[in-house]
Structures are given as C-alpha cells and as structure tokens.
Structure 1
C-alpha cells in the first residue's frame, strides 16, 4: 500500500510551492488599487487564471479556479482513497456551480434572453460528484429531483436557501466520513452554518437537513431554542470553534479562526506523516487557506489597500 502513495504524496508536498504565503499576501492587500494587486499576482502561482482588467469578483473566482486546477491534478496522482479525499475536500466547487446554476434558473424565469448572463462553471473534471446531471436541469424542481437522486440527497426544498444549506450539510457529513483527519473541520464548520441560519438569519432549515446535521452536531443541539443552549450542548468536535463567541451575531469571527486552524492542522499533517492520505489532506488544507487569504487581500486592494485593518488571525499564519 505504501508504494502506491509515493507519487501522490510527493505531488502533495510539492504543492506547498504553489501557495502565495502570508508576506506576499500582505503585499497584495497593501496594493493601492486592484490593478496593482492583479499585476503583482501575475508573477505568482496564481498567474494561471488571474488576468489584468478583471473585476474583484472575477479575480477572486480566478484564484479559486487556480486551486481547483491544482486539486484536479493532485487527485490524478492518488490511489483511490486519496482521490476520494480530495474530491470530498473540493465539494465546495460543485456547491458553487449548483448555486450559480439555480440562480440562473430563477433569473431565466424573470428576464428576457437578451438580459441573461451566466457565470462559467468551475471545471470539475474527475472531482465532480453529480455536476453533469445537475447542470442539465432546466427548472428548480428538476434540480431538486436530481440532487435527491445523487450522493447529495434531497435538500428538502428547491429554493436557493434550501439547496445551499442542504448541500453544505451533506458535504460536511461526507467529509467527516470520507476523511477522518478532516472530521473536526467538518463538524465545526457545520456548527457555524447551523448557528448562522437559525440564530442570526432566523431561518429554519428543512427537516431533512436538520436531521442530517444532528448526526454531527447532536439532537440536542439542533433542537436548541437559543444560541447559548446550542453552543453549550454541541459535541467537543464542533464546539471548539465557538468557545469564546458568546453571541450569535459574532459568528462571523469564527471563519478566520476556522481557516487558521485548518491551516495549522494541514501543516502538521504534512510534517508528521510520510505516506498515506494525511499529507494529501494537509496539502489541500494549505492551498485552500492560502486562496482564502488571497481572495480577502484582493478585496482590500479593491478598496484602496490596508492590511492593517485585517484581524490578526487573518494574516498571522501558523508556523
């Protein structure tokens, strides 16, 4: 078995050189204009998809597309277990494609053809789980039916909110099951999603998504009537991210902390393990965290630059 991992792990370790790194990300964030930031990125690992003249959202999407390209190649070097791990970790790209597709379906029913504009979907290749079938749907109800017949499962509704939360709950469950080294990440991220939906937005999740979320968060947590009760009864694997977030309105702070923890764990997985899926998971974690920071830096550059305004946990990478 070990021999089968040699090429895949070697490829995973090499991907550290495709990260921009905190110091370079600070340079991007300090750029006085977005165009200056794009010019800087043109000489970095993100040059493949980032082009001059792009809008901020286009540039951020291009950063994500670069990461996806690396993940597709990485998956191709893995034994089956490693490829499955990369696919589970990359599920967010299929979710993004599906959300864009559903928004277009809803808009198409309201706008004439001349006013319709669709984002090109991310090219998933072998990382797709059901995208080919989902992309062919023509109405929200067809999309829901296609999801229900796939590994994603029924989201419990065909509204954008139901589909978005349903797919994210399914992705968290799949990640925890398929990638044990990422189970803690999946549970904590799901706790933030559930807390935000229920206690900030005030929107009840469809029953099917609530039942699925209970598998990671516990029945008492998903039935809690207040954020304080919710946080108190979460299992340790999910509660750590919310330890000092006393109010639901402050859940936004959890994202930067989550990415910092994912990156820290990713470094440890790369350092501690020689062969097996762990270094592969670690490499995906580092690439993803680097891209998250870079997207944030582009947002700052578009506003005139100012890394000093960032929370410390955003730019302070673990050693």
Structure 2
C-alpha cells in the first residue's frame, strides 16, 4: 500500500462530507426564492464556485464546477493509476465543453490536467474539423459531424470506456447507455448511425439499435444494463430511469466508501457520491427556478 493511496483515500472520505445530502437538497428546493437558495449554496459545500446573484444557468454551472474542483483535488492526492481513473470519469466535463462549442457558447469548464483531448477539440473551426479531431483522439469517430452525432457518439464512447476500465462503475455506464439509446430511439425517434450502433452493441447487446420498442429493448439487455429500464411503461417514463440511475450511483458509491482499506475504491466511491449530490442540487435549483411544487423536490 503506497502513501499516496492512504492520502488519497483519506482525502476522498473527507471531501464526501462537503455535500448537501438528500435532506439538504429537499430544503434547498423549498427555499423562499431561487435567489435565497443560491445565497444559501454560496455559504455551504458549493461555495467554491456558487456566488449570490447567479441566474439559474449560472448557478447550475457553478454546482458542476465545484464537482470538477473536487475531482481535481482528488487527482492531486492519488497515485498515477488513480489520477488516470479520475481523468476518465471527468470526461463528462469535456463532453459538456463540446456541447457548449456546438451551441456557439464559451466552453464552461477548465479541466486542467484532467483534460483528455479538449485542447485539440477546442480549436476545431468547423463541424468536419471537430469530427476529424474526435476520430483521431481517444473519443473515436462519432459517425457524423452533426451536433447530435457528436453528442451521442461522445457519450457512448465514454460509457464504453468506463465499462471496460472500471468494474465498480460498469453497471452505471451500461444503465446510462441504455437510457441514452432508449431516449434517442423511442422518445426523440432518431435512429443510431453505424458507429453509435456498434458502440451500443458492445455495451447493450447486438439488438439494442434494432429493438422495435422500449419493452423489447429492455427485455434484450444484459443484467448490467436492464435495471435502468425495468418497469418503465413507455418513453415518457425514461426520466424515472434517470432518477434510478443516480440513486444507484449514490448507493453504490457509499458502499465503496464504507469498505475498508486505502485504495482506488473509496476514491471512486467518493466521486460517485459527490456527483450524485451535484445532480440532486442542480435538480433542486431547476425545480425552484421554474416554480415547481414542494412535492417535486429531488429525492
């Protein structure tokens, strides 16, 4: 056991205490106003980036930016193997940056040493150049240069790499991929391009891109992915699968943290718990911003 793993696991367990928690998210969603909620967040565990006066989009970005900061802190405490895993998990932020690039907005996240290919992707001046840059990087060819081709391709590429690399996170990646394919095919009614179909097949089985209905897709999924779609009656219930996915990430992350020893597992567990907390917090802000009832508060 190296001293770096001891330091990293200890730091991970300490960072997990810097979260809002389920009860805190419910209280946040019931704040007297959106402005009051943001002011509360600015003095709590998300105070690294949240400031009073932010609008809804800025506040949700600031919550995610705090999660990125936590990830960068952890990467500085663990040995190289752990930093490589955190860099892989942090690819969500690179996906978000490309989403912003495709929308003509400024890239919101500074990944620093956690970046995979962003320095190259950010210089792409055309959709064709962006596709070429992805194809020659760890992301791989998304199969098209349209925004949806790029977005779907990057997400499936990330899920496949996580499932292949990190055993504890494999069910999270497979479940999220199942939800993504189901949303694309049955809610948005768009078929997958050949590259996306191949990636989906690797995670979800050969029939994922051709299943004629949501129920058929769910019935043909491997166990690692089927849990995400279990019991969903139609595409309009896919949001329930997303909630279930984040609940599992949170639950599994806490189980990894509870294990004994100083190694990779508690570090991954800490990041999972922090990511689930950020999702809950962003959901609470979104509900509050649109004036949702208390019964709509995140669980």
TM-score, with structure 2 as normaliser: 0.96
1:285 is matched with 272
Distance in 2 of aligned mates of 1:3 and 1:127:
22
Distance in 1 of aligned mates of 2:290 and 2:98:
29
Q: How does 1:60-79 map to 2 (within 5 A)?
A: 60-79=60-79
Give the drift of 1:38.
1.1
2:167 is matched with 180
2:288 is matched with 301
Alpha-carbon displacement from aligned partner over 1:244-268 (angstroms, at most 9, x marks no partner): 1122221111111111110000000
Equivalenced residue count is: 299
Distance in 1 of aligned mates of 2:79 and 2:278:
25
Q: Any gaps of 5 or more consecutive residues in structure 1? A: 105-117
Give the drift of 1:220.
2.2
Give the drift of 1:32.
2.1
1:96 is matched with 96
Structure number with the bigger relative contact order (C-alpha 8 A, sep ≥ 6) is: 1
RMSD: 1.3
Which range moved further: 172-181 or 217-226? 217-226
Give the drift of 1:66.
0.7
Are 1:219 and 2:197 matched, yes or no? no
2:136 is matched with 149
Change (3 A) 1:119 1:307: farther
Distance in 2 of aligned mates of 1:79 and 1:176:
21
1:195 is matched with 182
Give the drift of 1:221.
2.6
Give the drift of 1:120.
4.1
Which range moved further: 20-29 or 265-274? 20-29
Q: How does 1:238-277 map to 2 (within 5 A)?
A: 238-277=225-264
Alpha-carbon displacement from aligned partner over 1:30-54 (angstroms, at most 9, x marks no partner): 1121111111112101112112221
1:251 match: secondary structure = helix
1:43 is matched with 43
Distance in 1 of aligned mates of 2:107 and 2:58:
11
Are 1:129 and 2:103 matched, yes or no? no
Contact 2:13 2:270 in 1 (8 A): yes
Alpha-carbon displacement from aligned partner over 1:148-188 (angstroms, at most 9, x marks no partner): 00000000111110000000000001111221110010000
1:74 match: secondary structure = helix
Alpha-carbon displacement from aligned partner over 1:46-67 (angstroms, at most 9, x marks no partner): 1121122211011000000011
Which range moved further: 142-151 or 206-215? 206-215
Moved beyond 4 Å, runs of 4+: none
Contact 1:84 1:178 in 2 (8 A): no
2:25 is matched with 25
Distance in 2 of aligned mates of 1:194 and 1:99:
18
2:149 is matched with 162
